[in-house]
Chain A
Amino acid sequence: MASQTQPLTAAQSQELAQAFHEMAVAIGAYRLAQVNTLTDTQQYQLQNLQFQCLQYSNSFITLGLFAQQANLAAVLQMIKQKTTIARQAISAITTVDKVLQIATAAAVLGASIASMNPSAVASGMQGLITAVTGTAAAPSLSTSPQPPSGVDG
């Protein structure tokens, strides 16, 4: 019968990491307590064993962190979704604002056309362009009458 390997949970990884950490601490304490009896070679061998335990502990910490991050995937998706909804709401509000500005500028232009005042029409046009583009219009809409072409001043 084939058996399937189950990945470790974050909590299981933590227990194993802690067990190897404690073993490394115990080896360190022994190395220190026996500092005057152990030879350099023995110290080196024990150091290697101590580091091996720490290596396992660090590897289980790494595995546990991967498991924790995997567990957060659904939560991250949910928060991203809510951020998008908030952005859409911001966009809806700023659109309302923009539409109002354009509509107001259009109303002013309409009134100026009704007044038959060329200067007011030009200024109303400028206002509408500014509202639509968000910037001032190019100075092509001069309010002063242009001299007919071919006429020298």
Chain B
Amino acid sequence: MGGCPDLSQVQQLAKTADGAKSSITNIAADFKGSCDRQNLYVHLPPGPPPAVPPQQACITGDDLDKLGENLVVEQNILMQYIDTLGTLAGTDASGFEKTAPSLDSSFKNAGLSTNQQSMAKSAGTLAAQMTKFATAGYREKKILEILRDADPAVTALSSGLADQVATEADVTPGTAVPMAGTSYLQLLRNEEVVLNSYYQIPLAKDPNSSAGTLLNVQYHSALAELKARENAAIAYRKFMISIGQAHAKLLAGAQRGNFDKASVKKIAQDLAQPISDMIDAITTLQKDAR
């Protein structure tokens, strides 16, 4: 083992992740939301109620609600880990350092001679410096150990969270990406099927009437809201993948021994864009939902 992590960079990762934390719970809440909306788009034939009741497009709302709640819990475990790592990087014996300037007057008040005061102060300052070095070394060692041991789990969790919201195959269809599983984005794609049939069929029957014009406006508004949700899901995926990558880069930098400043800047740049995209996407989503 060797090398040490850049503590300020660990703190930066924690700060950046914290900024996005509040935005990401909106997606988890919409797992059930998509299911509920799918059941709203139903046409009944004219006349008396049909003998066969209308089929529901989604019957797993309660399970999806639970899955959304679980996602928040899983997400919080990752965020808490990063947050704690950031706190550890920023924790030192600063309390002692703060009291050091008042030592002078304390020793003076205690009735020590000038010479004794000076010696006592020097001893105190030396103790503070030694403690500072000792705790910094302890922090660096601990953070490196934690980064190294947790890295495979952080990568697995960040991509696991990303996949639950949007898989790589969902985001880049048509490519030879292996199927990772199912996702919230796939629920939204089912919602799109219901939405299209609900609006397109009556519009095709009666495109030019005033009712048709109104329906067309509603259709485009519903499509725009759906698109905003899809964008938010894709942005969430990118953000989670970036968190995993940033963690791996921190570890790689720490293991190299001397932290490469250029790669530090690159981590900040890499994270800034997905976070900004996700916050924008979710802000649009919330605006549309009003």
A-to-B contact residues, CB < 8 Å: 10-11, 13-15, 17-18, 21, 24-25, 28, 31-32, 35-36, 40-41, 43-45, 47-52, 54-55, 57-69, 71-72, 75-76, 78-80, 82-83, 85-87, 89-90, 92-94, 96-98, 100-101, 104, 107-109, 111-112, 114-117, 119-120, 123-124, 127, 131
> How many residue pairs bridge A and B at CB < 8 Å?
253
Q: Does B43 contact A (CB under 8 A)?
A: yes
With contacts A58-B35, A100-B127, A120-B109 known, is A79 near B42, CB below 8 A? Answer: no
The binding surface of chain B is classed by DSSP as helix
Nearest opposing residue in chain A for B192, CB measure: A25
* Bound CA span A21–B178, Å: 18
**Alpha-carbon distance A108/B201, docked complex (angstroms):** 87
Which of B95, B139, B181, B194 contacts A97, CB < 8 Å? B95
In the complex, residue of chain A having the shortest beta-carbon distance to the beta carbon of B100: A104
Residue on B with the closest CB to A67? B181
- Cβ of B50 under 8 Å from chain A: yes
Does the CB pair A68–B142 fall under 8 Å? no
**Given A82-B149, A115-B111, A127-B106: A41 and B60 interface contact (C-beta under 8 Å):** no
Bound CA–CA A112/B64 (angstroms): 68
Q: In the docked arrangement, what's the CA distance between A104 and B187, Å?
A: 63
Residues of B within 8 A of A58 (CB): 35, 38, 57-60, 187, 190
A82 in complex: contacting residue of B42, B50, B93, B146, CB < 8 Å: B146
In this assembly, does B183 line the interface, its C-beta being within 8 Å of a C-beta of chain A? yes
Chain-A contact segment, one of B152-160, B214-222, B232-240, B279-287: B152-160
Shortest Cβ distance from residue A45 to the other chain B in the assembled complex, whole angstroms = 8
Q: How far is the CB of B19 from chain A (nearest CB, A)?
A: 20
Interface segment, one of B75-83, B223-231, B267-275: B75-83
Q: B112 at the A/B interface (Cβ < 8 Å)?
A: yes
Give the complex CA separation of A24 and B196 in angstroms. 11
Contact of A44 with B50 in the complex, beta carbons under 8 Å: yes
* Structural contact, A24 and B93, CB atoms closer than 8 A: no
Cβ distance A50 to chain B, nearest Cβ, rounded Å: 7
Q: In the complex, what residues of B have CB within 8 A of residue A86's CB? A: 81, 84-85, 87-88, 142-143, 146
Task: Flag whether B259 is at the interface (Cβ < 8 A).
Answer: no
The distance in angstroms between the C-alpha atoms of A59 and B187, with both chains bound, is 10
* Residues of chain B from 129 to 145 with CB closer than 8 A to chain A in the complex: 131, 134-135, 138-139, 142-143, 145
Q: Is the CB of A96 within 8 A of B135?
A: yes
